[in-house]
Structure 1
């Protein structure tokens, strides 16, 4: 973990204060990352649901938000949107500065992201039978292995998407904005510490959901894989996916005497 943190810091220690790519390119990169992020999140959820008994689980934030949605009878759109907004508020507290521009940016991300989550869930669950009948339940060892593979692919898609839109830094998912703020404002660029601390909010979400539903779902092997490997995959994607795309203007607020 220390090697990874040092490597990540070296790659982003001096991000450009100005944008070096056009707005058109930034929007194109962002749109692409939004689609693959949404697809990856839903793949982790659906593959987990199709194995009985379920042991895969979804990516960490995804699992927590899905469980909280179940607890309060929200569909995925509202679960992701509401928790995204609350995380954006937390980010403002951590920065000691309320920025409507940043909050709106987080919501600009969350609205199409949450909508795409619902679209991909409907697609993979078979709600559009003329296009795709949906992923069937895993009824053989081969299908179970294939779904484990798809689950890990979903995690890789999420990690790759994070790499792209964090480098673009146009608007961010509130959870990734949280990790970035923690990393550069509170942990002197140490990615590992920032990542672990950024998992506190979804952990609290999951605890609330378990208390309400008395069920422990959407957490499993895939969640562990995401917890351990997602940051590393993001670092790899920084180097190999659109390698000419460099980190753009970083803003984590001005330091104060209390920081």
Structure 2
């Protein structure tokens, strides 16, 4: 929804939806690709996927797609009903997304990011995580198509934790955190987990909340697909 100067709301025009989605999808895949290339710690889901890809010799694109499908099933459980519009939107998102992340990662590697000094890579890694948080905020508010992992955050946020983005993001990160720990115990090695992962774990939700209030401030959450007949949710 878009809030006008007089406080009234209107639906987004198609061209606005396209612009917001293009901006957010580019920021999301670029931010994730940058963190993978820097190897100073990716966001939790990407870090978890990178470890699975490393330990079982799959491409990270394949793991990200599988994660997306698993997340769709979890979202159905969280919503307690099938929402085919939501599921189709998730599927539209995840198949190109994994490959875009891989392409961006390869692009940044080709620029020599992996050989930069550690302080520079840490800075670029943090920038990548911030880009990711900004992107998530934008397309969660548009709520037309979302990555199912971020859709999960949206569902948890507005259905279970009263709109709190930090709590929702921490709950969303529980599964990839467990995967990383299990792989570390079994294989005695961890990749893509570093200072950036810690920053993402504790501050990505805060970046999403800050972006909701300060970037594209008139763009408000569209909760059409988050249904709960027993509650009326207030969006800050």
TM-score, L = length of structure 1:
0.79
Residue number among 44, 50, 55 corresponding to 1:71 in the alignment: 55
Contact 2:86 2:225 in 1 (8 A): no
- Asked whether 1:176 is paired with 2:156, we answer no
* Cα drift, residue 212 of structure 1: 4.9
- Asked whether 1:124 is paired with 2:115, we answer no
Partner of 1:31: 22
Measured in 1, the distance between the counterparts of 2:229 and 2:165 equals 18
Structure 1, residues 10-58: CA drift from partner, whole Å, max 9, x if none? xxxxxx9x9621122112211111111111111111112xxxxxxx311
TM-score, L = length of structure 2:
0.86
Q: Which runs of 5+ in 2 are unaligned?
A: 1-7, 231-236
Using the TM superposition, name which of 166-175 and 63-72 deviates more: 63-72
Residue number among 166, 189, 193 corresponding to 2:163 in the alignment: 189
Distance 1:137 1:170, change over 3 A: same
* Cα drift, residue 249 of structure 1: 3.4
Distance 1:191 1:242, change over 3 A: closer
Measured in 2, the distance between the counterparts of 1:182 and 1:244 equals 23
Measured in 1, the distance between the counterparts of 2:186 and 2:152 equals 26
Partner of 1:220: 194
Measured in 2, the distance between the counterparts of 1:169 and 1:210 equals 35
5 Å-filtered alignment, 1:59-138, equals 59-126=43-110, 133-138=111-116
- Asked whether 1:44 is paired with 2:35, we answer yes
Distance 1:232 1:190, change over 3 A: closer
Contact 2:32 2:132 in 1 (8 A): yes
* Cα drift, residue 93 of structure 1: 1.0
Partner of 1:245: 219
Q: Which runs of 5+ in 1 are unaligned?
A: 1-15, 49-55, 127-132
In the comparison of the two structures, how many residue pairs are matched?
224
Contact 1:168 1:245 in 2 (8 A): yes
Partner of 1:129: none
* Cα drift, residue 211 of structure 1: 4.7
Contact 1:185 1:255 in 2 (8 A): no
Measured in 2, the distance between the counterparts of 1:166 and 1:57 equals 24
Contact 1:57 1:63 in 2 (8 A): yes
* Cα drift, residue 136 of structure 1: 4.5
Measured in 2, the distance between the counterparts of 1:145 and 1:207 equals 26
Measured in 1, the distance between the counterparts of 2:14 and 2:175 equals 32
Distance 1:165 1:237, change over 3 A: same
